[in-house]
Amino acid sequence: MNSINHVAIIMDGNGRWGLEHFKSRNRGHKEGIKTIEKIIKESIKHNIKFLTLYAFSTENWKRPKKEINYLFSLLEYFLKKKINDFIKENIKLKIIGKKFLFRNIFKIINFCENKTKNNTKLQINLALNYGSKSEIIDAIKLLNKNKIQITEKKISENLYTKNIPDPDILIRTGNTHRLSNFLLWQLSYTEIFFVKKLWPDFNEKDFTKIVNTFRYSKRNYGKI
């Protein structure tokens, strides 16, 4: 049976859900928060140590300003609402991505990271302003600058995800089969699950089903 350390999720489909139910993409983003809360709880039940959530890609800046502003106000609301729970439940929050965001968000993010940095039950990596290609380029630039020889190990150690094991499972909801510039290096041997449901419809049962399928899957790593 495979053990599970790390689950990464591309939470896709909020916009379509919102349009379908309330004629508003933003309403879908709001609904998506509830799924995040459910999946955090379920991850703890399964004793998963790392949960990485793709919240905003470097490409998402191409969206209308109104939607971007709403997404960041939602993020602020979420962090303010959850910080006490994170502290109480021994959850560590880490941001992966380029952190030059709006000033007020930057403050609350740093506050949450600092307050939870010694927590050990579950580490939530929030991918924010995240792009995998630029992450890899930055790592290589840093190695070059410090005249360090480029090896797999050294690249891994210089990504935003240093000290985080590669994901065992990647889930993408929203019925779209692509990676959208997410963890390209780290997903080399990850088991990938594409889910038809839109993110706000995804639930604990769907998550558990994937976890159980993974536990009994055969991971070859090139062997037979």
Q: What residues make contact with ligand IPE under the rule CB under 6 A?
A: 10-16, 54-57, 60, 71, 174, 176, 178, 180
**CB of residue 171 to ligand IPE, shortest distance in Å:** 11
- Residue 128 binding result from Mg ion, ligand IPE, none, given CB thresholds of 5 to 8 Å by partner type: none
Closer to ligand IPE by Cβ: residue 17 or 214: 17
Active site amino acids: 12, 60
Closer to ligand IPE by Cβ: residue 32 or 158: 32
- C-alpha 54/C-alpha 70 separation (Å) is 16
- C-alpha 168/C-alpha 5 separation (Å) is 7
- Residue 4 binding result from Mg ion, ligand IPE, none, given CB thresholds of 5 to 8 Å by partner type: none
Task: Look at residues 198, 30, 187 and name the one whose alpha carbon lies nearest to residue 206.
Answer: 198
Closer to Mg ion by Cβ: residue 12 or 201: 12
**CB of residue 6 to Mg ion, shortest distance in Å:** 23
Closer to ligand IPE by Cβ: residue 28 or 139: 28
Token pair of 169 as six digits: 């499972």
- C-alpha 192/C-alpha 84 separation (Å) is 33
- Residue 11 binding result from Mg ion, ligand IPE, none, given CB thresholds of 5 to 8 Å by partner type: ligand IPE
- C-alpha 93/C-alpha 124 separation (Å) is 5
Task: Look at residues 35, 179, 70, 53 and name the one whose alpha carbon lies nearest to residue 127.
Answer: 53
Task: Look at residues 42, 14, 5 and name the one whose alpha carbon lies nearest to residue 173.
Answer: 14
Report yes or no: 113 and 93 within 8 Å, Cβ to Cβ.
Answer: yes
**CB of residue 176 to Mg ion, shortest distance in Å:** 7
Nearest-CB residue for ligand IPE: 15
The distance of Cα 88 from the centroid of its chain, to the nearest Å, equals 21
**CB of residue 180 to Mg ion, shortest distance in Å:** 8
- Only segment of 3-11, 12-20, 41-49, 207-215 that touches Mg ion (CB under 5 A): 12-20
- C-alpha 132/C-alpha 151 separation (Å) is 18
Helix or strand holding residue 192 (H, E)? strand 191-194
> Using CB under 5 A, which of 9, 10, 11, 12 touches Mg ion?
12
Which residues make up the interface to Mg ion (CB under 5 A)? 12
